[in-house]
């Protein structure tokens, strides 16, 4: 399944900002499978502006295995504490939702400094992929019974979420805000699932910026009130559902402008076509349902998804339409027959690799594994000979495959088999010692001996990580109740400094003491400035620096670089770098318009300059981009990714900067009229 994060990206984090991954056992060209805490990542599904999605497997005692999806937040996002708090809050809200038509959230946490969400694995395809596959198969229109089955499932899931209450009975008032084809998945068993409640809005959100001007969701499926940047409720999701019902039953896009701004105008200002304008044979009693869901005024719309669901069910009963999960299942199986076979083979081989990694992990770190009811660490349910046979069987089968990808995976497995053989030899060699240690451990009392660790850092105040888990304490601190006799991976982190790491093995004699010196994190910034002929000067965080190569820049924090050149408009770039990273930025300067050139009257040094009076009042600003997306800053303050709409500003001139994911920046001066709306679009 392709569970794709919402786009456009919410912040300036890109696939290139992968950062330093935690220390894991990595295999294959792309490092998959690999360990990630208690999960094994099998393969990457997608990368978005905020997160990466992985297919993963969780193993536990007695052969327990669970397939799921890990949404891992990109390292660049970890610097934004407000974003992390919002993410964790929204994930906690989403985790309370348990409904057949909503993807379940199982776990929210962090490992080795990376935040993640573990969610239900849905074996299916989103509606966008289904429509594309229909075109490949030359299926000319979406069957009405399947379109209705999908929208009915959406209404059921949304009504459950909209009506969700706290334990004390107070309403959560959850709104999804991004109902779109990418976030509705049909499984290969004929079920309908709404995914990505990750940007869902709840009245219990902590510190939400309701007037940030940031639009969340896909523009062509936004309600008018959402497109205008106004407050929204459940009726906004109803409108988005109506858009999808229109498109599924007519086969035509409803809102598709030449640009995002044109699309927003179509939603907010134009009259909507009726389904019968597109299809003369459109069911006459289905059209009123569609048009009521698409009412511009939320008060004229269905007031709940449940109301819309009831009308659709009445329509299905009147016309005796064969809405069926079995029929939808058969439809999906027929569309994706070839892909299903490939997925099954890839999943089988990924799981076999994951089994071997799990076995190696348990042999190398037996005290990190799962614990059974007695308090003892559980051993692997798979023996070494079984693992070796698995590798042999898979290698034999792989010779019949022509796929280069599969051959690459098999090569990795064969390498692991060789490694497994070496480990097996070592185990046989030390059989007597192992048996003696096992007998000794069985004779020990159940209560394990604990130790303590005293930690200091220079400078103090560093965060403490032990075996990949973040502790509540900061240095200096003494941590008790730690296991003895095993190596503990101790890591200290502090903003602006490189990470410090040390392995410590504790005993019962007394507290161990560790003091680590933290070195200032250093980033090298290389700036490429165009066009040729410009003579740029650089100001970093308000201080002049020598460029275009800037050294000794503090890592892990956000920096603002201002580039100026005579005759060109000033450009500003915001960036964050990791320790020991070389950050490459590209800045394209624009010629200063004549009207912005220096006033000749200023040649008289004795004359006083008079500032142009700014108009009184306030207005709004909309910022978009064609040819991609960018992060918008107004007067040096970040305002989110394009499109930015309904941003309230004081009337007058404002400096607007558009920075792409690659670090390219453009700036413009925009005049906001009093009681009006200014619009500006960057061309990327």
Residues assigned a catalytic role: 178
Report which secondary-structure segment, H or E, holds 682: strand 677-683
Q: Tally helices (H) and strands (E) across the chain.
A: 14, 30
CB 538 within 8 A of CB 551: no
The three state secondary structure string of 156-177 is HHHHHHHCCECCCCCECCCECC
680 and 621 in contact (C-beta within 8 Å)? yes
- Evaluate whether 151 touches 27 at the Cβ level (below 8 Å): no
Interior angle at CA 49, CA 682 and CA 260, nearest 5:
35
DSSP 177-224: ---SGGGEEEETTS-EEE--GGG-B-TT-SS--TTS-B--S-GGG--H
CB 203 within 8 A of CB 171: yes
Place of tokens 């970040």: 638
- Burial of residue 158 (CB within 10 Å: 0-12, 13-18, 19+) is buried
What burial class does residue 159 get, using C-beta atoms within 10 Å of its C-beta: 0-12 exposed, 13-18 middle, 19+ buried?
buried
Copy the structure tokens of residue 458: 């220079």
* DSSP string over 4-51: PPPSS-SSS--TT---PPPS----STT--SEEETTEEEEEEEEE-SSE
């Amino acid at each position: 399944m392709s569970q794709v994060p919402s786009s456009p990206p919410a912040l300036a984090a890109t696939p290139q900002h992968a950062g330093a991954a935690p220390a894991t056992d990595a295999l294959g060209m792309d490092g998959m499978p690999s360990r990630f805490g208690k999960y094994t990542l099998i393969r990457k599904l997608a990368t978005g502006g905020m997160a990466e999605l992985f297919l993963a497997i969780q193993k536990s005692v007695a052969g327990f295995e669970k397939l799921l999806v890990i949404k891992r937040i990109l390292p660049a996002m970890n610097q934004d504490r407000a974003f992390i708090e919002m993410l964790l809050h929204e994930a906690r809200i989403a985790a309370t939702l348990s409904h057949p038509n909503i993807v379940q959230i199982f776990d929210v946490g962090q490992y080795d400094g990376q935040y993640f969400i573990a969610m239900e694995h849905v074996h299916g395809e989103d509606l966008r992929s289904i429509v594309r596959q229909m075109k490949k198969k030359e299926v000319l229109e979406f069957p009405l019974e399947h379109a209705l089955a999908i929208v009915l499932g959406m209404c059921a899931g949304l009504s459950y979420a909209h009506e969700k209450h706290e334990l004390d009975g107070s309403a959560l008032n959850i709104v999804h805000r991004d109902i779109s084809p990418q976030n509705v998945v049909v499984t290969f068993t004929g079920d309908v699932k709404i995914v990505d409640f990750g940007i869902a809005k709840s009245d219990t959100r902590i510190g939400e910026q309701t007037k940030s001007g940031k639009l969340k969701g896909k523009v062509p499926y936004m309600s008018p009130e959402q497109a205008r940047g106004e407050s929204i409720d459940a009726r906004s999701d109803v409108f988005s559902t109506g858009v999808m019902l229109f498109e599924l039953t007519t086969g035509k896009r409803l809102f598709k402008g030449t640009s995002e701004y044109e699309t927003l105008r179509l939603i907010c200002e134009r009259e909507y076509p009726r389904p019968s304008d597109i299809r003369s044979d459109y069911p006459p009693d289905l059209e009123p349902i569609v048009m009521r869901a698409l009412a511009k005024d939320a008060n004229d719309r269905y007031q709940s998804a449940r109301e819309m669901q009831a009308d659709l069910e009445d329509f299905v009963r009147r016309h005796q339409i064969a809405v069926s999960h079995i029929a939808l299942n058969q439809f999906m199986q027929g569309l994706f027959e070839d892909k299903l076979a490939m997925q099954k083979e890839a999943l089988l081989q990924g799981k076999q690799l994951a089994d071997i990694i799990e076995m190696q992990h348990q042999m190398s770190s037996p005290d990190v594994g799962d614990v059974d009811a007695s308090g003892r660490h559980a051993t692997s349910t798979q023996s070494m000979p079984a693992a070796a046979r698995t590798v042999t069987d898979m290698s034999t089968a792989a010779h019949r495959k022509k796929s280069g990808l599969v051959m690459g995976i098999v090569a990795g497995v064969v390498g692991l088999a060789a490694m497994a053989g070496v480990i097996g030899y070592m185990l046989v060699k030390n059989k007597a010692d192992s048996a003696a240690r096992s007998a000794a451990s069985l004779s020990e009392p159940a209560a394990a001996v604990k130790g303590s660790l005293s930690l200091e850092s220079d400078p103090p105040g560093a965060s403490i990580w032990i075996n990949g888990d973040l502790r509540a304490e900061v240095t200096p601190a003494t941590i008790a109740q730690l296991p003895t006799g095993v190596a503990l991976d101790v890591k200290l982190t502090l903003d602006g400094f490189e990470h410090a790491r040390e392995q410590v093995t504790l005993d019962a004699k007394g507290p161990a003491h560790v003091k680590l010196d933290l070195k200032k994190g250093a980033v090298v910034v290389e700036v490429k400035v165009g066009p040729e002929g410009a003579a740029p000067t650089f100001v970093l965080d308000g201080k002049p620096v020598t460029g275009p190569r800037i050294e000794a820049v503090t890592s892990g924090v956000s920096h603002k670089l201002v580039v100026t050149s005579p005759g060109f408009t000033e450009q500003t770039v915001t960036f964050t770098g990791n320790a020991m990273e070389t950050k490459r930025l590209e800045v394209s300067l624009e010629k200063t318009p004549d009207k912005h050139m220096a006033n000749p009257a200023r040649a008289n040094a004795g004359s006083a300059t008079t500032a142009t009076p700014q108009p009184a009042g306030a207005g709004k600003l909309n910022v978009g981009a064609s040819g991609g997306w960018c992060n918008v800053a107004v007067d040096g303050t970040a305002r989110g990714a394009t499109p930015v709409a309904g941003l309230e500003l004081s009337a007058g001139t404002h400096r607007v900067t558009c920075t792409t994911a690659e670090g390219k920046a453009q700036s413009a001066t925009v005049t906001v009229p009093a009681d009006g709306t200014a619009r500006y679009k960057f061309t990327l």
